[in-house]
Structure 1
Amino acid sequence: MGILIIIGILILVIIILFVGWRYASQRRSLPCPVWMKWMLDPPFAWMSGRTRKTIEYLDVNPGMQVLDAGCGPGRVSIPVAKIVGQTGNVTAMDIQEGMLAEVRKRAEKEGLSNIRYLQGGIGEGKLGKEQYDRIVMITVLGEIPDHERAMQEIYGALKPGGMLLIEETIRDPHFQRVQTVRDLAGGIGFVEKGWHGSRFNYCILLGKE
Structure 2
Amino acid sequence: MISRRTIRSIAALLGLALLAGLAYAHRWRSNPSPCPYAQRHAIDLPRPVITRSRLRDVLEPQPGERLLEVGPGTGYYTGMVARAIEPSGTVHAVDVQSEMVEHLRTRMRQEGTLNVEPIRGDARSLPYPADTFDAAYLVLVLGEIPDQERALDELERVLKPDGRLVVGESLPDPHFVGFEGLRRRIEQRGLTFDARVGTRAGYFARFHVGTADRSIDPVE
Distance 2:53 2:192 in 1: 24
Please state how far the C-alpha of 1:35 moved relative to its aligned partner. Answer: 1.4
Please state how far the C-alpha of 1:94 moved relative to its aligned partner. Answer: 0.4
Q: Structure 1-normalised TM-score?
A: 0.87
Query: Aligned runs of 1:1-209 on 2, under 5 Å?
Result: 12-25=19-32, 30-42=33-45, 50-209=51-210
Please state how far the C-alpha of 1:127 moved relative to its aligned partner. Answer: 2.5
Maintained 8 Å contact 1:169/1:202:
yes
Distance 1:101 1:125 in 2: 18
Maintained 8 Å contact 1:55/1:76:
no
Please state how far the C-alpha of 1:163 moved relative to its aligned partner. Answer: 0.4
Distance 2:106 2:10 in 1: 42
Distance 1:12 1:160, change over 3 A: same
Percent of paired sites with the same residue: 28
Distance 1:149 1:16, change over 3 A: same
Please state how far the C-alpha of 1:168 moved relative to its aligned partner. Answer: 0.8
Q: Structure 2-normalised TM-score?
A: 0.83
SS of residue in 2 equivalent to 1:151: helix
Report the AA paired with residue 35 of structure 1.
A
Report the AA paired with residue 41 of structure 2.
W
List gaps (5 residues or longer) in structure 1: none
Maintained 8 Å contact 1:78/1:103:
no
Maintained 8 Å contact 2:96/2:121:
yes
Distance 2:15 2:103 in 1: 36
Distance 1:199 1:208 in 2: 24
Larger Rg, first or second structure (1 or 2): 2
Report the AA paired with residue 200 of structure 1.
A
Aligned length: 202
SS of residue in 1 equivalent to 2:31: helix
Maintained 8 Å contact 1:66/1:89:
yes
Please state how far the C-alpha of 1:177 moved relative to its aligned partner. Answer: 1.3
